[in-house]
Amino acid sequence: MDWTDEGIVLASRRHGDSSAVVQLLTRDHGRHAGLARGGRASKGRGVYQPGNLLSVQWRARLAEHLGAYTCELSQSYAAMLLDDPLRLAGLSSACAVAEASLPERHPYPKLYAGFLVLLDAFVTSPAWAAIYARWELGLLDELGFGLDLSQCASSGATDDLIYVSPKSGRAVSRQAGEPYHDKLLPLPGFLIGGNDGDTGDILAALKLTGSFLDRHVFAPHDRKLPAARGRFIDRLTRPPTISGGIKENDRA
């Protein structure tokens, strides 16, 4: 059997001397693995970089087999970010989180479309980090663990929402949350409207999404959040540089 699709490279791992087992997030077939012959050879390495967009053909004798990929490069996002270590770290984080959290061979067309938006943002948008944080929020929603940020869990108020309950995943207003503020997670305003926030807001948003990803997706299987995500956050906390951090005039 065989199918054709498009897909985003999430990971590529050596198999034998020159081949690779490649994990793709495909549009119609979800997270899907396949053997790419020559994928670790000099020509293939540039194709199967995490974050690259490919045109894909998969073939196998039976559906449950690993199967083999034949791919053509459609867009090399990884190469376009080589001079920006922070954005490249964000790309690596997104690929690692998607690979580690998504069940195999289950299509998520909305999440896939969001990933394409994120890939474009890494290359073109000054708000790329805010878009990344919103993408993780969408990932939680697609996996069935979405946060309810529409109104206060206690009062029903829809304004001045500045906290999230770590237990229920629901927003809490300033007034209702004040007595318990040390037990609540901050809710950055850009996640529910307004501007795109500064570096502190991005870090708060990633702490929020990371808390629920850990609780609902990783911890139940005795796993931790991907190391690539931790490296991205670590780099994000460093002082801004021309290419290695979010500059004051390039805030997300």
The pLDDT confidence band at residue 18, using thresholds 50, 70 and 90, is confident
* 11 & 126 share domain: no
3-state DSSP call for residue 138?
Answer: helix
Q: Using the predicted structure, report yes or no on whether residue 252 has a pLDDT greater than 60.
A: no
Residues sharing a CB contact under 8 Å with residue 65, sequence separation 6 or more, in sequence order = none
The pTM of the full predicted model, rounded to 2 decimals, is 0.91
Domain boundary among the residues 24, 54, 78 is at 78
Q: H or E stretch including 200?
A: helix 199-213
Helix%, strand%, coil% for the chain, nearest 5: 40, 20, 35
Same domain, 7 and 119: no
pLDDT band at residue 206 under the 50/70/90 scheme: very high
Domain CATH number, residue 54: 2.40.50.140
Count the domains in the chain: 2
Dihedral angle computed from the Cα positions of residues 118, 95, 85 and 137, in that order, rounded to the nearest 10 degrees: 50
Same domain, 73 and 117: no
Regarding whether 224 and 143 lie in a shared domain, the answer is: yes
pLDDT of 244 strictly over 90? no
Contacts of 113 by beta carbon, 8 Å cutoff, 6+ apart: none
- Calculate the alpha carbon distances from 95 to 92, 125, 147 in Å: 5, 18, 22
Residue 40's domain comprises 2-78
175 inside domain: no
Average pLDDT, the chain: 92
Sign for the CA dihedral angle at 20, 26, 28, 30 comes to: positive
Structure tokens at 7: 């897909």
Please list, in sequence order, all residues whose beta carbon lies within 8 angstroms of the beta carbon of residue 189, skipping any fewer than 6 positions away.
Answer: 162, 195, 197, 201
Q: State pLDDT tens for residues 134-184.
A: 999 999 999 999 999 999 999 999 999 999 999 999 999 999 999 999 999
Are 120 and 191 within one domain? yes
**Would 21 be classed as within a structural domain?**
yes
